[in-house]
Structure 1
């Protein structure tokens, strides 16, 4: 594999024969001049299923030529000046190797800052991201938790933004031939006791994504600045690739969608273009398609007729057989019973009195006392009428339901043995198959509702249910309900359900004809504007 890479002069990648879970990458180091006479091969191992790691390895391998070029230039310059070759290239490569030991972005960023601080004797090394013209501090050397609200963090971010805006390294103090602006760097050095400050931009895919700021007491030489720039150029993409990979999957998904839309719609103003297209599509949909206009209102289920079970005579409640919500059958279900003990005693006395009158009348007739016999017979008839009345009351003391239905009103459990008067309403019974919906619609919408219109209602207790109905009547005159002018609409239900009870409430929607969606959706707004502007 190494010979193939050397012969063809390109990067070669293959699965490790000894371990199919790893991939071996080989990259050539080309000879560029007399300063460097050796050609080497760099072997990089990474998991075969880790695409991000493999791409990162290939990117770092592609920078090897830059490392060699820097080493050649440094070696030639040192030879001409009679000095020892600088070690910037080796330091950059060692920093990259140290960062590659970490698989999480924060650990990699912290290692980069710590290694840079150690290699170049810095008091503080800060790494930040740059996006939408603002820098954000990500990592600081020898610091686990960053206080982004501190003064030093604020000044460091200002210096990073100054470097990213100019997209070139900035050093303070500046060399005599420098043309860049370093005002924020000078403020950072003065405010926080660092004599010399160096900031270098970090790029990925040709775009500045971050900035590294290094602070120390010794001045920055050209070789040291070049070494820092090279190390950050090589390690920066690795840090930001890991940060991108470690982000929440929802954020990555949004980022990928935005990139795809940018590729489809154009290189700039992606969200504006997408918003314009969506707005036009929505406008076309609203203007060209039709829908059913609906009038909404609150409804209440009411019975068509109500039956009242009243006390048949004055008395006391002896026993209650049903409660609210119980189903009753006509002529079978006993609702309640009145105490009839006094009636029975009175009936026994009257029967005895009638017997006495009958005997008196019989004796008078036998003795020829006709007038006395007639008087006794009249008394017996009067007592017999009272007996018939008491027998009728005894027969009605147990009150039965007059219809099939459900008890909706009447709680007599707390009135046991309490006196009641004749005709007093004790129970209210309704038929479930005779329910109808009473709908209150706004007076302004009432003119759009006509008899025979179809609609649906959704009870508040069962919002998932939809019950069809037909409008039976619309009151011509509005009424005030809850401070609003409404019209009462009476509707017949298609098929009453077993769970329906009088008094149930919810929302009803009545069909009011077809129309364009734009006209239907803006109908209320148009009516409001016409009333306010008198159009």
Structure 2
């Protein structure tokens, strides 16, 4: 739908639709096509609100085929959302975030058409525009309002259509089209005054523009150039300034009853022998920026002429202002931008926004100048040096378990017993063997069989050694706690009746004294930490309580963590006595104080370090 069509052709097509005599099936696609071209939209959709049924419907659409075919449903939903508000306000718009359209600021725009003759429904047109500049967008909204009456005139009888055409919109569109394609402000002014002079049969039309505190003559119809320092131009500018200073439309010799000063106008009228003299301020945001001056030598202006001129002056105001600013030198643009900034800062409007801006500025100054204590956040675990690993002294079967994981035990408390029945049987058997080999030895000595005696003594010694080992096992069949502490590993359900091999871990007992903090810090921050740095710890079990610690030792060799990558282990000691509820293995978050840093550095140093690593060379 994005076609390159010159403004005059487009305006002629829109004008011809006012007198269109074909069927509605032909009118609506043609009308929507021209609306899309006027708004530079890839599509145009007309929605109809059925008053009796109280529901929306799609009347017609153009541009939704081809590349936009897959997004028809999204476009319809987007159009219905903005059309609801357009029904109340005449027009409505919403900024959109769309990936399928190459617009820098895609904005959905909907405008309501003028109410049609004998109609029980309302129609809203929906388009998608690129809102690059606010002024251009405002101008686009005005354009849509100027063409909103075309379907109404199409549905009217011919005589009514001719009567309504006196609203002057066609003339306004033609006047606007003469300047909209110009790139230079001076040329646009010259073209504008010459067109107005011919169109309204004026002897001369002039345009003046605000330059600092004065109004300067920019262009005069039928004159390519003129001397600005002549008396005639001075008198002309006095007339322009009289209208500009009062921000009033002045028409003489018609008497004004509203107290408007018209001395310069009357003097100029008499001196030049004019029939009528009209001054029209050109306003932007209800403030005058220039003045159009019309001089008549023959017929005075009628009501239709005055209405068209007023509409035209409003329509061209934003266009002329944009041309004026874009045609300035670079330093002038910078000065204007600086002046507008100062006016906005020190002006009485938008107090809340200014307050927020001031507070934001103070905040930026604060974070750039002042410093905070920089803290490095790391994971931490409680650890202790007093840990006992109770293991099985020999291969055995657990007979009885008297302690559980989590129990507090004292030194010498019985924790577990092994099944000793087999050991006692082996002990009895070994004692019998000792007696038997002792007798064999005595018998061999009596028979003077020295070899047999030696063999018997050796076997006796062997059995005595086995007996000692059995007796040792029996002495180790009961497991006692080596010190006061807490059992942290060893469950009755897993141990009772289970066979255990020599060296297997049975219990793990810790003594919650001499507690220290074990910190795991990423290698990125290890260079910022030194022995003696202070910090605070918050345990997950009691996050509302803080415990102070001091860095005691930094292990200089990195370890590999599956999640954090390379880490360094740091040990810290507490500056207070361990609490009774502390348990080895408890985890939490530790914050190490490494000195004061600028606030902005604290917020941005991670990002800056990443950027430096990514873009280094």
Q: TM-score, normalised by structure 1?
A: 0.48
More relative contact order, 1 or 2 (CA 8 Å, 6+ apart): 1
Q: TM-score, normalised by structure 2?
A: 0.42
